Amino acid sequence: MAVRKPGLIALFDLDDTLTAPRKAATPSMLEFIKELRKVVTIGVVSGSDLSKISGQLGKTVMNDYDYVFSENGLVAHKDGKLIGTQSLKSFLGDEKLKEFINFTLHYIADLDIPIKRGTFIELRSGMLNVSPIGRNCSQEERDEFEKYDKVHNIRSKMVSVLREKFAHLNLTFSIGGQISLDVFPQGWDKTYCLRYLDEFSEIHFFGDKTYKGGNDHEIYESERTVGHTVTSPDDTLKQCKALFLA
Ligand SMILES: [Mg+2]
């Protein structure tokens, strides 16, 4: 086996970088990753949870990559072993979490919008997902809310109120999708995983959404990484071959 470059790691986003979105990796990508691992240390970082990642990269993903960072690294594995976990619940604590949820539910209760359904706040492991209409609305109701929100700015007004009220918690608010917004601590983007990579002096990151507002932007821009923008899994393959296997 060739000697792997010490201090260097190639770190990959998942969707549109190693695989088509939510799809399994192609046999040629799996083969390529094996070859690449002979010469460099490799890792994957994704916002998805571990079951989605192994669904796309295969059941042996833990053995095929040196590092697997699911949920942006809130769940971190090295050599197949769990090396760290973090959750919003343990980070904020129940008191602060309750304070935030109580205020937000009151705010939603006082909102006069055409319809409301159910599940206004969902606590996930690394974030709160907040929806003024409620997550269990139908697709038509979603579409209607999205249009209504474009005119009345329900979500962006809500974000400015929450941002001011909870400034002391250093939270990031992100409006995404049609009906909701995500709330998570500052720094809980893909850069979160970098805390596990102190031993590497050269971290090459490959991702597709490296533009401002994209979920690869922060890690791509980080001083700790050498960022590479890719346009597809094929492009990832091409760029890595030129960089590491030439
Ligand atoms: Mg991606």
Q: 179 pLDDT exceeds 50?
A: yes
Bridge partner residues of 205 (DSSP): 11, 227
Which residues are tagged catalytic? Answer: 13, 15
Ligand 1 centre from 142 Cα, in Å? 24
Q: What is the pLDDT of residues 147-175, one digit of tens each?
A: 999 999 999 999 999 999 999 999 999 88
Let me know if 55 is exposed, middle or buried by CB neighbors in 10 A (0-12, 13-18, 19+): middle
Residue 1 pLDDT > 60: no
| pLDDT of the residue at 66 | 97
- Asked if pLDDT for residue 2 goes beyond 70, the answer is no
Q: Is 163 annotated as a binding residue?
A: no
64 is in an annotated binding site: no
What is the Cα–Cα distance from 129 to 93, expressed in whole angstroms? Answer: 17
In tens, the pLDDT along 11-43 reads: 999 999 999 988 999 999 999 999 999 999 999
pLDDT tens sequence across 219-239: 999 999 999 999 999 999 999
Q: Is 94 a known ligand-binding residue?
A: no
| pTM, 2 dp | 0.84
Task: Tell me the CA–centroid distance for residue 230 and ligand 1, in Å.
Answer: 9
